[in-house]
Each structure stands twice: as C-alpha cells, then as structure tokens.
Structure 1
Amino acid sequence: MKRVLIKGQVVWILSFVIALLACCAEGEKREEVSEQDAFQAFFASHSDSISVAPRWMRAEALRRMNEAEDSLVKYNYLSLTLKTYLMTSQIDSAWLVLHHIQHFAARQPFSPQVADLQSECLNMAGNLFARTGVMDSAKKAFQSAYEYRLKGTRIADVPDILMNLADACNRLGELDLGASWYRKALLLCDSLELPSTKRTPIYYGLAQVYVALRDFDQCDYYYNLAGQEYERMLPYEKYIYLNNRGTSYYYRGDCQTAMSYFRKLVELTGGYPDMMFEQNLGKLNLSDCFLQLQQPDSAARYMDECRPFFQKIGMTTALYYLDTQAIAQALLQKEFGEARRVLSHSVTPPDIDPDMVHIRNKYLQQFYEETGNYKQAYYYQKNNLRLDDSIRNERVRMHTADLALRYQQDSTLLAHRVMIRETENEVLRLRQAHLIVACMAVLAFLVAVFLYLYNKKKRALMLVENRRMVSSLRLENIRNRLSPHFIFNVLNQEMLSRKQETEQKELASLVKLMRRNLELAEQLCVTLEEELDFVKTYIDLERRSLGDNFFPVIQIAPDVHPSLVFLPSMLIQIPVENAVKHALRGKEGERRLWIDICRRDSGEVSIQITDNGGGYRPNSLHRGTGTGMKVVMQTIQILNAKNKQALDVEVHNVVLPSGETGCQVSFLLPVKYDYRL
C-alpha cells in the first residue's frame, strides 16, 4: 500500500512539473508572438521613414533590436537598418550588415518568418548589386528573393520584388522580360486589392520599358497614370518618376522639357541630405542636357559637383558617362588636348549600356574628324552604324517579344486567333474558286447588315420617343392630380375656419397661394427660393387656425444659396402640408415644425422636414389618403430612372430632444441632378 501511495505521489509531482514547463513554454511563445507583432506594427506605421528620415529610423530600429529578446525579431530590426544604409548610400556598411543577417538566417531551421527574412536580405543584395552596376548578380538575387517571399507570410511585398526584378531585366536589355514582370506585379496588386499607390512604381517602370523601345505613346500613357499619384508618392518614388520622365524627353530630343524634370529632381533631393546618390544622378543628367544645348560652362558646373561622389562609391557606369560628357565639353570648347587626356584615362566597363557607347562613339567620331584622323573617324562612324542596326534590331525583337508575352497567357485570344486564321484560309480558298460569287455574297451581306442595323436603330429611336412620351404623360397626370388635391385642401380648411369676413391681407395671401399652386403644377422643377416662398405663404395662412402655440422654423445653412438650388416642385410643400394637417392640427400644447436645409461634404443638399406631432402612425384617424406623398414618390421615381445618382427620400419617426416623438421626412438632392425628360 505504501509503495502504491509513493508511486501515485511521484506521478502527481511529475504531472505538475510537466504542466508548469508547458505553461512556461506557452508564455515564452506568447511573448515571442507579441514581439513579432510589435515589429510588424512598427514596420507598418514607420516604413515611410526609411526614405524620409533614414538616420532616425536606423537609431530607432537599433534601440528596439537591443530591447528584443527573440533573435529572429532582433534580425528583423537589423534588416531595417540595412535599408537605411542603402538610402544614405553607405554601401560598405550595407554589405557588412547584409552578410551578418545572411549568416544568421542560414543557420536557422526553415519557417515562413525565416523565409521573409531571407527574402528581405536577397532583395537588399539585389539593390546593392544594382547600385554598383553588377546587374547579372542583381537579377539572380531578386529572383531568389521572389521565390523565398512566396514561402513567407508577407505576400503583399511580392509586387515590390517583382518591380526590382523587372528593373534589373531592363538594365540588362531584357525589356520583354522586364515588361512581363511588371505586368505580373500589376496582376498581383489587383488580386491582392492593394492600394493604388502600390501601382505607381509599376506604371513608371512600364513607361521606362517603352522609352527604351522608343514607343513614346505607350510611354506617356503609363507616365500619366503614375503622375496622378505624384503628391502621394514617397520622396524616393518621386525621384524615380522625375528622373525617368526627364530621360524620356531627353531621348526625344526635347532637352528643355527634360531639364525641367531634372531641375525639379535636384530641388526635391536637396531637401533630403540622405539622397546624395539621387541628387548627383540628377546633376549628371542636367549636365548632359546643357551639353546638348551648347552650354558647356553650365554643364561643367554640374559635372564638377557630381564627379567626386561617383568616384567615391566607385560607380563605373556613371564615371564612363561623365568622361563622355567631358569629351563633348572639350569638343565644344575646341580643347582637343583635354579630350585626349580624358580618353587616355577613361575605362569602359564591361556591362555598359549600348546607348552610352553610341553617344561616346558619336563624340569620338567628331573628335577624330576635327583633329584630321579620318581613318579613326570612319572607324567610329562604322561602329555607330553597326550599333544603330543592332540596337534597332534588338528593339524590334524586344517589342515583338513583349507583344508575344502580353498575349501568351490569354488562351481565349489565342483560340480566337486560330479561328480567324482558319476562317481567313477558308475565305482565300473560296475567293480562288468563286471570286465573283464571293463578292456578290459579301455585297448582299453588307446590304443586309446595313438594313438590319438601320431598322434596329429606328426601332430604338421609336422606343426612346415612346418612353419619353409615357414619362411626360405620367408626370402631367401626376401634376393634374396634385394641383386640385392641394387647392381643395386649402379651400376646405378656409371654409371650415372662416366665421366672418377675413382681412384683405389674408385674402391676398390665399389668392397668391392659389395662383402659385397653378404655376407650380405646370413646372417640373423650381428653385429652392421659389419653393420656400410658397411654403412660407402656406404657413402664414395656417397660423390662424393653429394658434399661438404653432412655432415654424426654417433654417438654411450659409453655404446653401436658395436661388441656385433646384428641386421638384412642391417637394417641401407636400410634407409640410401633411405635417400641419395630420400631425399638428389635433395636437395639444406646442406645435413645432422645423425645416432644415444644409449642404453635405460631398456637395449634396439635405432637406429635412420635422414635426413634433407624435410621429407617423399608419392606423391613425388623421393619417389622410396619402395622395400627396404618393405623387412625390412617383415624380422622384420617374426622374431617378434617367439619372445616374438617385434623389433619396426617407420617412421615419424620430425622438426629439424634448422627449416627444415626431415624424421626419428627408430629401437628399444630388449634385448636377437632371430634371429634364
């Protein structure tokens, strides 16, 4: 028995220890999840600071990294500092941090969160390779980043990686693949329902593809789409937009327009000290424009300002471009010795863009012509002609490949093409055999189609005319029903309440009311000023029967101009008449009526007629026949049928501040509502 008891105690103690360890592990897991959530929240709310205030972002990320206990969260914060180093053009520091993160990620077991971190590292590695001009490595890094991101949790970041991959393909001359990746990014943005600002970089990326293909119509189409979001762009996105759009005008030969964009770029980046790379690239482009405009002194100023920066970061493509400009400047100033000096020190990078080689060859041809070395001049002329043919053929090939990739995924269009091709072949065979018969058949078919379309159009016009006449008759019928109904209500009320001869003023008001009612019955719409004048006349006539306890209030907001607002005639009068007749006349105590007119933020005019008569009661003895409101609803229904925005009507009971129940009729008049049939 003792052994059994001891064994039971041991089992109980072990169970307690296991439960305690499980609780600790669960607590650590909750803490880990909490730290990960904190990182995601921080990144979501401060991601813009990476480009706007990179140094502050770096300091804050390092502080949070030191406070975090989870190692994966620590390295996520460190990845943010990596982005800030890229934004401040501290390439060496960026490489150092990148290798540190990659070493950590390689030692971790696979998980979606680790895949996100690896994708982030590879994406930044691609950006660093691109910044230093090693585009083959950049493309490979972006492709790996894309594959890892698909295994992670932040799928919404996939379009950004695809844009980087497309940029790398463009710089490698693979324009068709670049356009394909851009379009895939657009498709992802649509399927993930991402905000329109996510599409902006894709638009100007596609525009840059068509600049390279010299298809400036498509280029301007996508730049205009991107420009619609300019004010909401981040500074770095504004830089890319301005730089690329200026480049598009440079290639068209419109250097003045190109300079306007490059000047705006330099002005923009001047406000952000960390955008030194972008600012110097803008100056490099400006100097080229000045050279094209035969202004070597202005060009020299910008060349001298940006050369030390590109020498410092070792960007060989930019230095090659600067040397080309220096040669052009020397030729403009007839300083051939300086041109020879630049040529003797200039180095041609292996991955230089063909357009830059073409520009260099043009200046070299000019240099050798002016120095009398016609053999060398002919050599560079021949090279440029061969390069022109090569570039032209490559553009044609790329343009064709782009079209093929655009339509390759559309199986419906492909099937349609096959059907058209088969039909064309059949038509060709028929033409070869029976040319005359085919022509007559085509002519007969065209005549039949013309007659069919003509009759169809004629029937459609007749249908529209009939609908217009029906709508007009319906409105006329409604008005004819409304006018006598209202006049008889007023006259009956006057006869019941009149015990002696009224004063001339009251008779004049009654005559005015009847005459105005007849005028309104003939009008489909009136101004708010005319409608309120009619309503005030009616209220003045009813004051005598309702007594001193009747308090009507008409409030018009200052931004509403009654003479400029139109509405269906008697839209306010009928609810006011219903309120007086069916709600306030038999009420004890104070009888209150409010007419509130205001304008909403969207521009729509709101009209509310409220009373304190106890609210709408369908079973009330005083509820009336409902003819007036029925006419209002029918009128609005007919007008709404031909307008895109509807004139809204609401009738409901409300609890007033005094505690009483009242009925409220609300109308919402849309902007630019059409009252014509």
Structure 2
Amino acid sequence: MAKRVKVLLSTLGLLLGGIFIFSCSKKQVQQNTPFDTFVQFYQSVNDSLSKNPSYICAEVKAKMAETDDSTTHYHYAMLLAKAYMFKSDLDSACIYMDKAEYYCNHALLVPEVSDLYAEIYNMRGNICARQGVMDSAVVCFRTALDYRLKGLRQEVLPDISMNLADAYVRSGQYDRGALWYRKALSFFDSLNVSEKQRFPAYYGLAQVYMELRDFDQCDYYYDMAAKWYDEMRPYEQCIYLNNRGNSFYFRKDYPRALEMFRKERALACNYPDMVFEEHLSEMNLGEVFMLLNQTDSAAYYLNQCQDFFRSLGSVSALYYLDTQLIALALRQNNLPLARKRLAEAVKPDYVEPNMLHIRYRNLQHYFEEAGDYKQAYYFLRKNQRIDDSTRNERIKMRTAEIDLKYKQDTTLMKQKIFIQQKENEVLELNQRMYIWMFICFCVIALVVFIYLYKEKQRDLLHVKSQNTITALRMENIRNRVSPHFIFNVLNQEMNHYSESGSNNMNRLVKLMRRNLELTGQLCVTLAEELDFVHTYIDLERKSLGERFTLSVHVDESINTSKELLPSMMIQIPVENAIKHALKDKEGERKLWIDIRRKSDDVICICIRDNGGGYKVTSRNRGTGTGMKVILQTIQVLNANNKKHIDVSVNNVELEGGEMGCEFILMLPGEYDYNINKSI
C-alpha cells in the first residue's frame, strides 16, 4: 500500500515537473526570437549611445550583417540612425530612416512593425525639434506615440511622451507640455518604473514652470531631478544643466547661470560626439558673458559656435545666434557691423516669444545708437506689447495648466478608483479561489484518509482472516489426526500385525508428515492433494470394511502436476464423507471423486457418497470445522481475484433410489493464490 501511494505521488510530481519544464522551455524559446535579441542588445548599448556613438555605429553595422529577419534588420537600422543623430550627422540618420520607412510602408502592420514606425517618427520628431520646426515635431511625436501603443515595447512610452511635452513647451504651449510630462509620470507608474528613472519628467516640468515664471515650482522639480544626477546619462546631464542654467538666466541670476553653462560645456567636451551640446552651451555662455559686460569672452564663445550652427541649418538656433551677434556688435559700438549682421540675419516663419523679445530689445538699442528714435520707440512699443501678451499668455497658460492638471488628477483619481474596484474584485475572486482550493484540499485529504483507512482495515481483515484460517487448520488437524484416530489405527495394527500392517504404519507416518507439510501451504497441486487423499483412504479402509469402494476419475486433458487448488479442498470433503456418512452405513459404501474440465478455464471437482445425504439432526454431523476452513480460505482468496472459486454442497438422489451428499468445487483458470499482493 505504501509503495502504491509513493508511486502515485512520484508520478504526480513527475507530471507537474514535466509541465513546469515544458512551460519554462517554451518561454525560453519565445525569448530567443530575433526581435527579442535586438531588444536585449538595445538595452545593453543604450547608455553608450551618447557617450560613444561611433563605437555603437560599428557594433550595429555588424549586427545588421548577421540578422536574417527583415523587421529586426531595420530595427538595427533605426538604432544606427539614432547613433548618427548623437554624432550630429543628420544626413546619414535620415538615409537609414528613409530605408526603414520604405520597408514599413510595404510590410504588414504587426506589433514589431508598429514599434519600427514608432522609432521612425520619434526620430523625425527629434530632428524637427533640433531644426526648430516644432509643429512638425509635435505631429511626429504624436504619430510615434500612436504606433508605440500598438507595438510590443511599451516601456519606451514615457520617453515619447516627454519628447512630445518638450515639443509643446518649445512651441509655447506650456499647458500641454505639463500635461504630457504628467502623462509620462503616469506611464512610469503603470510600468512600475523606479523613481531614479523619472528625472527627465521632473526637469521637464521644471522647465514648464520656468517658462510660466513659477520659480518655486521650478526649483522643486529641479531639486527632484538633481537627486538622480549621478544616474543620468551624459546627454541627460547636459539637458539638466542647460535647463537649470536657463532658469537662473530668466531670474537674472547670471553668475549661477554661468556656472551651470560652464559645467555643461565641460561635460560635453569630455565626449567628442556631443558636438551639439558643446556648441549650445557656448552660445548660452556668449549671451551670459555679454549680459555681464564681458564682451571679449562673449565674442570668443559666439565665434566658437556659429560655424557649427550655420552648417547645421537650425533656423531657431541661427535666429538666436544672429540676435546675440547683433547685440555683441552694439556693445562693441560697431554700428556698421550690427547693420550688416541685421541684414544677413535669418528670417524664420515662427519665432519663440522669448527670442523675439530679445531681438526687439537689441533692435531698439540699435536704432537708438543710429539716432532713429522713431524706430527705437516702435520696437520699444512692440516689446511692451510682447511683454503684455506674454504675461497674459502666461496667465492663460497657467490657468489652462491648472485646469488640465485638475482634469488629469480627476481622471487619475477615477482610474485609481476603478483600478481599486477591480483589485477588490480580483481580491474577492482570489479569496473565493483560495476557499475552493482549501475545500478541495480538505476533500482530497478526506478521500486519502478514507482510502488509507480502508487499506488499513483491509490489512487488519486480511491478518484476521489469516489467523482464523490458521486456527481452523490447526483445529482441523487436531480433529483429523486426533489421538483417538491414532489409537484406533495403532490398535488395529497391534491386533493384525503383518506385512500389510507394516505398510499401514508407513502410510500413517506419511499421512501425519504430509498433513504437517500441507498445513503451511495455501495451495497445492492437484496431484499432491489426490496423493494425500489416497493415503488417508488407505488408512481408513479397514474401518470401512470390504464393501467400501472408491471411484476416482480425472480427465486426461487435466495435468494434475500443474493445476493448483487450495490445500485440503478435496481431503476435507472426503474425510467428512467417510466419518459422517459411510462409517456407520449398512450395506455398500461408495465414494466417488470426479475431476473434469468444464471449459477451457474451469475445472469441476465433484465428491459424492451414498451415505444417505446430509442431515442437520444426524448424530454424526460433526462440528463443521472442516467446512469453515474451506469457506473462509476461499473467501480470502476470492477477495484478490476477479474470477471466484465456487463451492456447493447438495443432497442428490443416486441410482437405485439411494440418497447421497455431493460436494462440488469449481476452480477458474489463471487463479492467483498470492494473498500478500495488497500489503
């Protein structure tokens, strides 16, 4: 029983283990797709993009040559374009973007292709932002966000949201900028991103409040971002230093602004590929030095950066640079140079209000120096209108920002309430599931307990049956080979001592020895049982007299040395027939033993006498111990077999009108005599 339970548990464990291994192997297979390999590579080199884009270009080109999957190949191409953008090689970046977009336009819109589209439009938005075309940048970033929501790489959603927020801020839509920065924080929350990765959203919100001139909120978010300054990548540190320098610039705290811009330039100079950040910091340094009346330093830094921005073709940067160069010429009292630079200055379609305000201030100064006070007054008035408009716009933006923040907070609150409700439902569902699991566990435990209890009871019953059989056998032995029987046989031998008597003595010894041998065996061969019966009858022949006849018939098809039957199954009925029916009978005493094959599987053993039949009131009916042994032995054996041994005892009418008793034993084929197999 214990072995069966162990085998059952082992099989269950192997089954669960197989399921677990299969599921793990399935996951492993899923992780080895080409796109997943690209994602792993991207994550491993992302930090190095801004530090060493040239190295990344070489690594990505090698990966592109090894990749057979088309979609993954163009994902590598977009990573290469991103590296070129960090190198400020926008022409090469655009070449790879165009190739990737051409592939997407002719491919099925599966999630991997949606991710590729998102990369393309996000990159185009970044290039438009660098060139100052903010309306186009907004469109690109929104398209990138839509595609990213259909893709697989949801973890980069916050980055696109922050890019979109930057574009709105630079186009003067500060309320929408703040909205998308907060949406980026919401994406961080939903993705369970750690706090140290959220600093871009913090310094983005700080920039919004800087533009709205809410410097308390501005410093609050800058301080939040500063906690993770050491965790930032180099280009992110440059963005932080540049924006924080601008916040001091707008407060006219020029020494602290100068400190931030110097740190930005020193950082960018450590990375040869961060050319854009280096020259941007030089342009900011030029303006701050000019405001501090340090024109030589201002001229140095402005001359350092102007060739780069003119080659880059960034309209907004060139407008800002031309404004500073005009202001520098005026501070140097070089009116002809200021006139020349004013004539050569770029004229963009859209100019940020802050830059326009600086340009008008310089134009007012220029016309004052030129003696054209009417024009100077004209630009003074325009600047005042810009100030009023900007102030009004800031108030509107501030109001709109508060309104959007309130709406977003309300939406978030509703979402949190909804999520909490769903979590409560899930919790309730889990509780129900745990309750049902507990109930199932209890039911299973109860079933196992009942099963084990039944097995224990069966074992106890088996032991009890074995003990009963042993006791009955011993009692039968005592009854069959009793001192009275031995005394009678010995007395006969003493009175009729002869050579034949000596044979009877040998038979008696054989009978007693064989009887003891059979006591310890549950089954014997048919030949052994018949031999024992013949020995017993030979010893009883003298007491039965000359009129006793024995007829034994065995079918030729039965191999008595191979066919098994329970021990004493023939001897006990024969003994009962002799003792209780034939010994005291007058006249002829007959005993028949008939063994025939009824079918291929069944052997019929019939023991019949002419002793007048079985009578309950007979004085010779005995104790019934022999039949108890037969019936209980058969009961124990049948409990372990599908086919059963059948026993019947009947009174039959014989030829000549005599009555007799008939004992019939039906033995099925392939019967199992092993009663220990269930233990």
TM-score (norm 2): 0.56
Q: Deviations over 1:318-358 (max 9, x none)?
A: 22112211221122221111111111111221121111111
CA contact (8 A) 1:358 1:387 kept: yes
The equivalent of 2:493 in structure 1 is none
Instruction: Give distance in 1, aligned partners of 2:63 and 2:330.
Output: 56
Quote the residue 1:35 is aligned against. 34
Q: Does 1:65 align with 2:70?
A: no
Unpaired runs of 5+ in structure 2? 1-25, 415-679
Q: Take 2:364 and 2:177, find their aligned partners in 1: how far apart are those partners? A: 33
Instruction: Measure, in 1, the Cα distance between the counterparts of 2:126 and 2:396.
Output: 28
Counterpart residue number, 1:99: 98
What's the counterpart of residue 317 of structure 2?
318
Which residue identity lines up with residue 162 of structure 1 in the other structure?
S
How far residue 197 of structure 1 moved from its aligned partner, in angstroms, is 3.0
Distance 2:115 2:64 in 1: 17
- Matched with 1:346 is 345
Matches of 1:388 and 1:410, distance apart in 2: 32
In the TM superposition, 1:597-676 aligns within 5 A as: none
Residues 410, 315 of structure 1: CA spacing in aligned structure 2 closer, same or farther, 3 A cutoff?
closer
Residue 397 (structure 1) aligns with: 396
- Residue in 2 aligned with 1:229? 228
1:191 matched to which residue of 2? Answer: 190
Larger Rg belongs to:
2
* Separation in 2, partners of 1:402, 1:84: 35
Q: SS where residue 49 of structure 2 aligns?
A: helix
Q: Who is 2:116 aligned against?
A: 117
Q: Please state whether the residue corresponding to 1:47 is helix, strand or coil.
A: helix
- Residues 412 and 205 of structure 1, relative CA distance in 2, 3 Å threshold: closer
Using a 3 Å threshold, how does the CA distance of structure 1 residues 280 and 410 change in structure 2: closer, same or farther? Answer: closer
AA aligned opposite 1:370: E
Q: Deviations over 1:582-625 (max 9, x none)?
A: xxxxxxxxxxxxxxxxxxxxxxxxxxxxxxxxxxxxxxxxxxxx
Letter of the aligned partner of 1:68 in structure 2? T
Cross-structure match for 2:251: 252
Between the two proteins, the alignment pairs up a number of residues equal to 388
* Per-residue deviation, 1:412: 9.3
Give the alignment of 1:420-431 within 5 angstroms: none
Superposition pairs for residues 527-538 of structure 1, below 5 Å?
none
Whether the 8 Å contact between 1:142 and 1:165 is mirrored in structure 2 is yes
Identity %: 48
Counterpart position of 1:377: 376
Q: CA deviation at 1:30?
A: 6.3
Q: Secondary structure at the match of 2:252?
A: coil
How far residue 33 of structure 1 moved from its aligned partner, in angstroms, is: 4.9
Q: Which amino acid counterpart does residue 75 of structure 2 have in structure 1? A: N
CA contact (8 A) 1:408 1:414 kept: no
Task: Show the counterpart of 1:131.
Answer: 130
- 1:218 matched to 2:194: no
Pair 368,275 (structure 1): closer, same or farther in 2 beyond 3 Å: same
Partner of 1:179: 178
5 Å matches for 1:134-213?
134-213=133-212
- State how far apart, in whole Å, the 2-side matches of 1:227 and 1:412 are: 29
Task: Report if the CA contact (8 A) 1:324-1:360 is conserved.
Answer: yes
TM-score, normalisation: structure 1: 0.56
Q: Distance in 2 between matches of 1:58 and 1:196?
A: 31
Equivalent positions of 1:54-93 (< 5 A) are 54-93=53-92
Say yes or no: does 1:285 pair with 2:284: yes
1:258-300 deviation digits (Å, cap 9, x = unpaired)? 0000000000000111110110000000000001001111100
Matching residue of 2:578 = none
Tell me how far apart the structure 2 counterparts of residues 224 and 143 of structure 1 sit (CA, whole Å): 29
Name the CA shift for 1:65/1:413 in 2 (closer, same or farther; >3 Å): closer
* Residue of structure 1 in register with 2:386 after alignment: 387
Task: State the alpha-carbon separation in 1 of the partners of residues 413 and 75 from structure 2.
Answer: 46
Q: Structure 1 residues 115, 412: CA separation in 2 closer, same or farther (over 3 Å shift)?
A: closer
> What are the superposed Cα offsets for residues 331-389 of structure 1, whole Å, 9 maximum, x if unpaired?
22211111111111112211211111111111111121122111101110111111111
Structure 1 Cα separation of the partners of residues 116 and 394 of structure 2: 38
Give the corresponding residue for 1:368: 367
Instruction: Tell me if structure 2 keeps the 8 A contact 1:165–1:181.
Output: yes
CA distance in 1, matches of 2:184, 2:136: 21
- SS in structure 2 of the partner of residue 324 of structure 1: helix
> 2: CA distance between counterparts of 1:305 and 1:316?
18
Amino acid at match of 2:307: P
User: With CA pairs under 8 Å and 6+ residues apart, which has the higher RCO, 1 or 2?
Assistant: 2
Counterpart amino acid of residue 398 in structure 1: M
What is the rounded CA distance, in whole Å, between the counterparts of 1:104 and 1:414 in structure 2?
42
Deviations 1:157-213 (A, max 9, x none): 100000000000111111000100000110111121112232110000000001100
Closer/same/farther in 2, CA of residues 208 and 192 from structure 1, 3 Å limit = same
Q: What do the CA deviations read for 1:459-507 (whole angstroms, capped 9, x no partner)?
A: xxxxxxxxxxxxxxxxxxxxxxxxxxxxxxxxxxxxxxxxxxxxxxxxx
Distance between the aligned counterparts of 1:364 and 1:273, measured in 2? 37
Cα distance in 2 for partners of 1:336, 1:64 equals: 57
* Residues in 2 aligned to 1:45 and 1:117: alpha-carbon distance in whole angstroms: 19
Q: What secondary structure is seen at the aligned counterpart in 2 of 1:156?
A: helix
Task: Quote how far apart the aligned CAs of 1:38 are.
Answer: 1.8
Rate the CA distance shift 1:414–1:163 in 2: closer, same or farther, 3 A. closer
Secondary structure of residue in 2 paired with 1:409: helix
Structure 2 residue aligned with 1:50: 49
Rounded Cα–Cα distance in structure 2 between residues aligned with 1:411 and 1:161: 23
1:173 is paired with a residue whose SS is coil
Does the Cα contact within 8 Å between 1:407 and 1:413 map onto a contact in 2? no
**C-alpha contact 1:32 1:70 (8 A) present in aligned 2:** no
Q: Which moved more, 1:69-78 or 1:216-225?
A: 69-78
**Is the 8 Å Cα contact of residues 77 and 97 (structure 2) preserved in structure 1?**
no
1:118-155 residue CA offsets vs partner (Å, 9 max, x unmatched): 11111111111111111111100100110111111111
* Aligned position for 2:293: 294
Rounded to whole Å, the distance in 1 between the matches of 2:124 and 2:180 is 19
After superposition, where does 1:323-338 map in structure 2 within 5 Å? 323-338=322-337
Q: Give me the whole-angstrom Cα distance separating, in 2, the residues matched to 1:240 and 1:381.
A: 33
Contact 2:138–2:167 (8 Å) recurs in 1: yes
Task: Measure the CA separation in 1 of the matches of 2:67 and 2:342.
Answer: 55
Q: Partner letter of residue 287 of structure 1?
A: G
